[in-house]
Structure 1
Amino acid sequence: MTLPTPLTGVVPPVCTPLTPDREVDTASLVRLVDHLTGGGVDGLFVLGSTSEAAYLTDRQRALVVDTVVRHVGGRLPVLAGAIDMTTPRVLDHVRVLAEAGADAAVVTAPFYTRTHPAEIARHFRLVADRSPVPVIAYDIPMSVHSKLGAELVLELAAEGVLAGLKDSSGAEGAFRSVLLGRRSLPTPFSVLTGSEVTADAALAMGADGVVPGLGNVDPAGYVRLYAACREGDWERARAEQERLCALFGMVTAGAPTRMGAGSSALGAFKTALHLRGVITCPTTAEPQIPLSPTETETVGSHLRAAGLL
């Protein structure tokens, strides 16, 4: 399908279910897609941070995209991450996801190497010039150690290099600058927030949609939140957002004395999906540390409090 311009609504970053031996569990992935589409989402984003893209081999990445695109069958747009350290590697991923039928490539700034802002701009221009699908910038400075400035994003948008922005920076001032600046752009430009806990505020500022990792667990909740914001029912939106904030507390289930925040959060999402009967196994990719039985029960208590278990 053609990517809507602008892309709007709830576009969850899809978890990648794994088998106990850490291969992609395609049967669980298909059930997860059905769970998300049944919740009323407007699109899907595979191979992002919540998808554990950084931990997957190129073969596994290709399998994820192919499985989701084939199962969706054009009913919803499928965005796919082409996230890697340098331009040539990103272009390899873009080729694979485009051949699989993904509707857009989601691309970060280069990382590992130290890059000048001019090199970051050149990176996006080179990728867009050779990509057969639209390119959406992914601003996630905590992972790539480069913040995409509003001025650069708007410059690339004005050139037609970028079709949109997925902002996971947490920098609300810069996010608002993009929203204000896009008013003068010659073509539509999608602005999406990656925040689970301030989605209502982003939508109030004028964001087009939300890309919440917690949306894997409760897609219908974010769909209700989005609908309330679009209807201008801010009291209902606030109540739904606060319920989701409480549910988001599951990401701290893992003890920080023995695991990182990523292991805790991704483990919580997968554990929640397992407890809800969506995926077969809550396995996370190595070297992440799995949740203990006690930590699993903490996730379950959050689900019960939210009426999801």
Structure 2
Amino acid sequence: MLNASRLKGILPAIPTPVRADGSVDEQAAAKLVGHLLAGGVDGLLPLGGTGEYGALSRAARIRIASACAECVAGRVPVIAGVLDPGYHDALAAAYDFASAGVDALLVVTPYYTNPTQAGLCDYFLRFADESPLPILLYEIPYRTRIALDPEVTHLLSRHERIIGMKVCNTDMYHFLRVVAGVDKEFAVLSGEDSLFPLHVAAGANGGIVVTASLLPRTWRRMFDLVSQGRTQEALLLHRKLIPLINLAFAETNPGPLKSVLDLVGVDAPEVLAPLVQPAFELQARLRSEVEHLLGAYENA
């Protein structure tokens, strides 16, 4: 069973390739996974927000989870996102994904009901007890309006089946408080492309990175630099990626990302409602930036 020691390095948050009719394109998914494995990634995260979880049917979610697990064949961990707001639906998804062959689950804080910190703690403890797979906490307050208090995270980190966390909280002091008190057998992963080297320098074990789907080797190089204590070099490399990050998130992710996947051999630009194709000007600017970075860093 997966444990925290294998949650490190670069784990791309991957988009779900779909056809024009909205069905999952397993062939394109296999190409994307192959591209990422060749780029030296340390794991994969299908079915987060980047994977358009909420727009996919339950059957489609199972198909993409199964396709990723089959393509990876145990070489790196596959962690499926669980973004249902209700406990029973989320637990049903956990069993679906376990049957599909993934290794762990990334479980978002339950939203809409605005639970207390005591409610959040109870939710995750119960989920971990009942889940067929180990879980990672998923905190993303700019989408859910809910953040976990660091003290609650510290308590949850001591549960043997809660093995890590994806941090999408842009408050650096909050992050520092989290890493200061979690269990030693608990992996904190950055969920912010914009803060990744700072998070790793401050104690993250790696990151779940959206734009690593395009530039896996570049992000892997950045992680290695920070891990070697060469933080200034990592920050300089990260600075080169800031235009890409700005463009990739200028409209709701994964629309911009999907529009340029063909540059890495995956022709899957379609997005699912309520997303629409990003503005033409944005696509053109992003394409130009990715082409430059592929030549300058990824394929150099």
Same fold (TM over 0.5): yes
Q: Is 2:263 the partner of 1:266?
A: no
SS of structure 2 residue aligned to 1:138: strand
In percent, how many aligned pairs have the same letter? 28
Q: Which residue of 2 aligns with 1:134?
A: 134
Q: Which residue of 2 aligns with 1:102?
A: 102
- Once the two structures are TM-superposed, the CA of residue 222 in structure 1 deviates from its matched residue by 0.5
Pick the aligned partner of 1:232 from 226, 229, 232. Answer: 229
User: Is the alpha carbon distance of 1:220 and 1:156 closer, same or farther for their aligned partners in structure 2, counting shifts above 3 Å?
Assistant: same
Give the superposed CA RMSD: 1.7
- TM-score, length basis structure 1: 0.91
Structure 2: how far apart are the matches of 1:145 and 1:293?
31
Q: Is 2:219 the partner of 1:222?
A: yes
Q: Is 2:283 the partner of 1:286?
A: no
Gaps of at least 5 residues in structure 2 are none
Structure 1: how far apart are the matches of 2:2 and 2:32?
23
Q: Does the Cα contact within 8 Å between 2:125 and 2:159 map onto a contact in 1?
A: no
- Once the two structures are TM-superposed, the CA of residue 126 in structure 1 deviates from its matched residue by 1.4
Pick the aligned partner of 1:247 from 244, 247, 258. Answer: 244
Q: Is 2:167 the partner of 1:170?
A: no
Structure 2: how far apart are the matches of 1:6 and 1:155?
21
Q: Does the Cα contact within 8 Å between 2:117 and 2:149 map onto a contact in 1?
A: no
Deviation per residue, 1:195-218 (Å, 9 max, x gap): 112211111111100111111111
Could you tell me which amino acid in structure 1 is paired with residue 163 of structure 2?
Answer: A
Q: Does the Cα contact within 8 Å between 2:50 and 2:254 map onto a contact in 1?
A: yes
Could you tell me which amino acid in structure 1 is paired with residue 11 of structure 2?
Answer: V
- TM-score, length basis structure 2: 0.94
Structure 2: how far apart are the matches of 1:238 and 1:116?
37
Structure 2: how far apart are the matches of 1:32 and 1:66?
14
Q: Does the Cα contact within 8 Å between 2:17 and 2:24 map onto a contact in 1?
A: yes
Q: Which runs of 4+ in 1 moved over 4 A?
A: none
Structure 1: how far apart are the matches of 2:61 and 2:185?
30
- Once the two structures are TM-superposed, the CA of residue 308 in structure 1 deviates from its matched residue by 4.4
What is the count of residue pairs matched by the alignment? 296
Structure 2: how far apart are the matches of 1:238 and 1:108?
29
